[in-house]
A and B are shown apart, each in its own frame.
Chain A
Amino acid sequence: MISLTFVLVIAAGFIFLTLSRGRAISLAAGDLASLHSRPSYHGLHAFLWVVLVGITTLLILSVLGSSLITAALMGDIADALPDSQRIERQLILSDAMSLSRGTVASKDDALRQEVAVRFGTYEAIRVWGSVLISLGLAALIGMRSLSRTTLEFRARNSSEAIIRRLLLGCAIIAVLTTVGIVLSLIFETLVFFENLNWRIDKYLFGTRWSPLSGVSAGVMDPDRVGAVPLFAGTFLITIIAMLVAVPIGLLAAIYLSDFASKNVRAWAKPMLEILAGVPTVVYGFFAAITVAPFIRRTGEALGMNVASESALAAGVVMGIMIIPFISSLSDDVINAVPQSLRDGSYGLGATKAETIRQVVLPAALPGIVSAVLLGISRAVGETMIVVMAAGQGANLTLNPLEAVTTVTVQIVMLITGDTEASVAAGPAFTLGFTLFCITLGLNIYALRTVRKYRELYD
């Protein structure tokens, strides 16, 4: 019923759109210039009002109604069973709802039947009330818009004002959700630190990570929440990834922008972009199934001891994943270096190599740096590849042939593990918040350099 009403409200919107537009046209009597706004704006104005008022009323009434009903029925149940637990009453209520809807309930007794009947009545009032009131209000508003359709009415300005507010609303939602997520990260982090008796130093500098072993009632042992091995692992894998991605990506970008013919460019650039579109989970099992065994066999052939899950495998594959990212961004900034600078250099008798090395790259450097920084922040936050290929044990080492674990892997393990979510959430949120701070810093710095660089040439 409620969802049908949505459709009805929108239909009403279209009806008033047509009516208002028709009225505007007939008022103009053939001389459209005598209208302040074009007829379609009169229609749009009516439509926006009808739909906005109708849907808002419907939402508010039905949501508000639901909670009022729940509150009232809970009160009734409390009167009937004064010494019951809250959770007990909730069970009775949900059983009663099921009974009223004709689905299966856990138990059937007189109280439940009585509440069910009452629920049925309230529910009918709620549904019909919100449907009728919202449709009625929509119709009223529609009539008002229709009567406001006159030659002088500034329908365009009014509907643009409404749309502007709608856009503002969406922007606010986007900002508020971000703020909300960050705030909840901060909040959970603070709770976690409180459980540690504020031994933040243990978290930042401790070298042993097994936060959930021996946890009782959410109190953690500060000696077991040292995040250093995780950050060391993340750092190691990121370094390996960048050692792969930066040289290859940058040289590919130089080739594409300054050496490749139009034809090569025409197919090579889309190819790289396809590479950027491969889901990271695919890279993950590529790393785990193909690259890691290959590295292990090669290592054994050379007489080295290689773990079957190694930082090297994860890092190399992550580097491959980041190549298109770096080459595509660098290619853009290298292309943005004006041709006139290259001409100036050629005109002085510089070769292509000298021109690229001494003029093009320095001019593009800020952009390249920020491409690398953005690449790093991707590597730091990357999860799938390391979950599959890097290992799980918190192992403090800088040897790329050993298994290491990363911040993201540990977050996955905490959340998907068996421990109760409320206990595991603390360390997970804290790790997430730390990671967020790092990538945020990198991104801000990177974007700022890009902006400075844009100003230089615009």
Chain B
Amino acid sequence: MTNMRMVDEASKMQDVKIESRGVHVHYGTNEAIKGVDVDILDKTVTSFIGPSGCGKSTFLRCLNRMNDTIDSCRVTGKILMDGDDIYDRAVDPVQLRARVGMVFQKPNPFPKSIYDNVAYGPRIHGLVANKADLDDVVEQSLRRAALWTEAKDRLAEPGTGLSGGQQQRLCIARAIATAPQVLLMDEPCSALDPIATSQIEDLIDELRASFSVVIVTHSMQQAARVSQKTAFFHLGEIVEYGDTPKIFTNPEDQRTQDYITGRFG
């Protein structure tokens, strides 16, 4: 009996990467997140959709404790990653962010060479022993971000000289290079043209094999194309969470229905 439960727990643990329980976020006195419970699965793309200002970015930033860098921001509740509370005092947010990578809305390559951009994380965290290993990590990361063929001959050129779509893939490569387990993306395509967007979408689909990916998006088509799970945020709460096809074809909540049919937003 006890054994059976252990096995059951174990398989569940493997599936659920991040568990959020009763998370509230305040900016000063303004409550931006009002109690969010959600299980984010491993090796899955989860998308957060919802109208502007409903707290998608705020909740996403809770998952790698980026909110700690905002003075007025206060997070309460529990967020467990692989069963450990990431807000525990024993957890260093700096180390956590190496395990939970983040890609931002606007491509933000450092004003360094393409190579140094990708090597930034591995160097800081001492992930590689020598130059050859570092070269290897850079190449692998660029390959997985589908940028290698375009960038391999210009690794020494500044990352800021790439096109917008290439810059965003560089930022993805930079995040991958620290070997994270979770990849958070906050509207990664909103500053990109349709071709660059579809390249990034293909990329996200491939990344699913290795990471748990959480993506905030304003495009319902994008959510439908790339994600397996979708959470609909509204006014700081998750109104509905489930399999993507179900959310888009047969939502249970009237507000979800209204949003995806474009009645408000």
Which residues of A are at the interface with B, using a C-beta cutoff of 8 A?
261, 338, 340-351, 354, 358-359, 362-363, 456
Contact = CB atoms under 8 A, between A and B. Distances in A.
A347 B101 contact: yes
Overall SS of chain A's interface = helix
B111 A349 contact: no
A346 B101 contact: no
Listed from nearest, the 5 A-B pairs whose CB atoms lie closest are: A349-B98, A347-B102, A349-B97, A340-B108, A344-B108
B69 A341 contact: no
Contact of B110 (A261, A349, A351, A359): A359
A403 B111 CA distance: 46
Nearest to A358: B120
Contacts of B104: 340, 343-344, 347
10 contacts: A261-B71, A340-B104, A343-B69, A344-B104, A344-B109, A348-B101, A348-B102, A359-B110, A362-B112, A363-B111
A333 to B, nearest CB: 13
A348 B171 CA distance: 10
Contacts, number: 67
Overall SS of chain B's interface = helix
Q: A261, A342, A359: which has the most chain B beta carbons within 10 Å?
A: A359
B124 interface: yes
A350 B106 contact: no
B110 to A, nearest CB: 5
Interface in B98-129: 98-99, 101-102, 104, 106, 108-112, 120-121, 124-125
Contacts of A343: 66, 69, 104, 108
Contacts of A456: 111, 160
A354 B64 contact: no
Contacts of A350: 94, 120-121, 124
Interface residues of B, number: 28
Contacts of B98: 348-349
A347 B175 contact: yes
A88 B101 CA distance: 92
Interface in B168-191: 171, 174-175, 178
Contacts of B112: 362
B95 interface: yes
Interface of B: 64, 66, 69, 71, 94-99, 101-102, 104, 106, 108-112, 120-121, 124-125, 160, 171, 174-175, 178
Contacts of A363: 110-111
Contacts of B175: 347-348
A345 B111 CA distance: 12
A308 B101 CA distance: 61
Contacts of A346: 66, 69, 97
Given A354-B124, A362-B111, A456-B160, A349 B178 contact: yes
Contacts of B99: 349
Given A363-B111, A456-B111, A345 B160 contact: no
Given A347-B102, A347-B104, A354-B124, 19 more contacts: A343-B104, A344-B109, A344-B171, A345-B110, A345-B120, A346-B66, A346-B69, A347-B66, A348-B98, A348-B102, A348-B121, A348-B174, A349-B95, A349-B98, A349-B121, A350-B120, A362-B110, A362-B112, A456-B111
Contacts of A261: 71
Contacts of A354: 124
Contact of B124 (A344, A349, A362): A349
Contacts of B111: 341, 362-363, 456
Contacts of B178: 348-349
A351 B97 CA distance: 10
B111 to A, nearest CB: 5
B130 to A, nearest CB: 20
A343 B71 CA distance: 14
A349 to B, nearest CB: 3
Contacts of A362: 110-112
Q: A338, A350, A354: which has the most chain B beta carbons within 10 Å?
A: A350
A341 B108 contact: yes
A262 to B, nearest CB: 8
A200 B174 CA distance: 58
B104 to A, nearest CB: 6
Nearest to B177: A348
Contacts of A341: 108, 110-111
Given A343-B66, A362-B112, A348 B97 contact: yes
A134 B120 CA distance: 75
Contacts of A348: 97-98, 101-102, 120-121, 124, 174-175, 178
Contacts of B64: 347
B99 to A, nearest CB: 8
Q: A344, A351, A362: which has the most chain B beta carbons within 10 Å?
A: A344
A338 B105 CA distance: 14
Contacts of B69: 342-343, 346
B177 to A, nearest CB: 8
A338 B175 CA distance: 19
